[in-house]
Amino acid sequence: MRVFLEHTQYWLYRFFTNSNYRKFIFYSIIYGGKKRFVARTFNINGLKIFTPDSLSFIWQYKEIFADEDYKFQSESSTPVIYDCGANIGTSCLYFSIIYPGSKIKAFEADPAIAEILNENLLRNNIRNVELIDKAVWINNDGVQMSLEGADGASIFSNTNPIKIPSVRLKDMIEKESKIDMLKIDIEGAEYDVLKDCSSSLDKVKNIFIEYHSYVNCVQKLSEILEILEKNNFRYFIKPVNDREKPLINRKNKFNPNMDLQLNIYGYKIN
């Protein structure tokens, strides 16, 4: 009976105990089936958030505010946070709420999305974020990317690629005495960037990585975990999208270009 209740009542328990989860369910019902890439403004938790795509924002809200996937502990009241792949600023707003004194560097490659990010910061009077409207990469020479118009810009798509200005993350990290939280959600570029930054991650206390495995590319998960282990991170992994009968269903039904998408959480004990 205990196992039955745990599996059947968990989401109901979350619904009644987590107001942000209730809001996610509400907005999923209202906007989940609406046409994509239609601009809307959401008023949630005292925040006014403009988004070019309701569906992508709804899932961002669940991950960031309902699930609190980016929550971390810091001994400092002014933690340094690097938000790589900041998109429209939902994560920046969350970080600014839990740590009002934080110093945030927000990196966003898509120029149109970066403009929306800046507007969302201004309309919510967020003053602790430095916006860097460039792609996080392994050099400062620019990088070819395909822009999707929401949260799916990627170096692995061949749909109308354009060259985007880039910034070498390793150089940025090495300017800091420490980074309390490094969030990396850069749609497939994470392996190259982490490999380039490997010798500099001693400065990082907490790290979040969204790992993307594209079907026509070699999987690099083991190498990413090796980088974390060499830098004394303990890590925890959970799938973003599950696959029933994974030996048969070999693609992500939400994104058939990928066969695996994971959230990786790393933290240092000392």
pLDDT, mean over the chain:
91
Question: Residue 95 has what pLDDT?
Answer: 98
Question: Residue 10 has what pLDDT?
Answer: 79
pLDDT in tens, 52-67: 999 999 999 999 999 9
With left for phi above 0 and alpha for psi between -120 and 50, is residue 79 left, alpha or beta?
beta
Question: Residue 154 has what pLDDT?
Answer: 62
Question: Residue 4 has what pLDDT?
Answer: 60
| Portion of the chain with pLDDT greater than 70, in percent | 93
Please determine, for residue 122, whether its predicted confidence score (pLDDT) is greater than 60.
yes
Residues 266/234, Cβ–Cβ less than 8 Å:
yes
Please determine, for residue 48, whether its predicted confidence score (pLDDT) is greater than 80.
yes
Residues 90, 47: Cα–Cα separation, whole Å:
10
pLDDT in tens, 182-214: 999 998 899 999 999 999 999 999 999 999 999
Q: Would you tell me the crossing angle of helices 190-197 and 221-230 to the nearest 10 degrees? A: 30
Mean pLDDT over residues 219-242, rounded?
A: 96
Mean pLDDT over residues 94-119, rounded?
A: 96
Contacts of residue 117, defined as CB under 8 A and 6 or more positions apart, other chains included, come to 86, 87, 88, 89, 92, 106, 108, 131
Question: Residue 89 has what pLDDT?
Answer: 97
Residues 143/135, Cβ–Cβ less than 8 Å:
yes
Q: Report the range of poorest mean pLDDT among 89-93, 113-117, 159-163.
A: 159-163
CA 133 vs. chain centroid, Å, equals 16
Question: Residue 96 has what pLDDT?
Answer: 97
Residue 127, class by beta-carbon neighbours within 10 Å (0-12 exposed, 13-18 middle, 19+ buried)?
A: exposed
Six token digits for residue 90: 């939902």
pLDDT in tens, 136-172: 999 999 998 877 655 556 666 666 788 999 999 999 9
Mean pLDDT over residues 242-261, rounded?
A: 86
Between vectors from CA 211 to CA 209 and to CA 214, what angle results, nearest 5°?
Answer: 160
Closest CA to 99 of 69, 119, 75: 75
Residues 183/81, Cβ–Cβ less than 8 Å:
yes
Closest CA to 118 of 98, 88, 96, 147: 88
Residues 113, 110: Cα–Cα separation, whole Å:
5
